[in-house]
Amino acid sequence: MAKGRGIGRGMAGGMGGGGMMSQIKKLQEQMEATQSALAEETVTSTVGGGAVKVTMTGAQVCKGIEIDPDLLKDADAEMLQDLILSGVNLALDQSRKLAEDRMGPLAGGLSGLGL
């Protein structure tokens, strides 16, 4: 048993021990704070010359879709569906990019810890 405890201590000491755990905890807190901020940040995509606007959070939650009323006068359902689909996909791409931009530096911190 003493042998097992010695190995555990040696491994923790070799990896930075409490200092490394402190860094991991700090990084985890930063990631959680960034994820919370992403849930509040939004991106808006516009398609069809401004006819359709889609607003999405950095956490990939669609917050709204605006359709220019003038579009509804002459638009057919298929065209409107295509515009909405394009707008949502563009907003998702923008949202993913925002998340990558915010979380990327934190992920880099993991490699600095040897993870």
Using the predicted structure, report yes or no on whether residue 86 has a pLDDT greater than 70.
yes
- Asked whether the whole model's pTM tops 0.85, one would answer no
Question: Distance from CA of residue 43 to its chain's centroid?
Answer: 12
Using the predicted structure, report yes or no on whether residue 3 has a pLDDT greater than 70.
no
Give the per-residue pLDDT at 4: 47
Query: Using one digit for the tens of pLDDT, what is the confidence trace for 4-41?
Result: 444 444 444 455 567 778 888 888 888 888 888 888 88
**How many separate domains does the chain show?**
1
d(CA 75, CA 81): 10
**Residue 64's domain spans which residues?**
2-112
% residues pLDDT > 90 (the chain) = 31
Q: Residue 26: give its domain's CATH number.
A: 3.30.1310.10
Question: Distance from CA of residue 11 to its chain's centroid?
Answer: 34
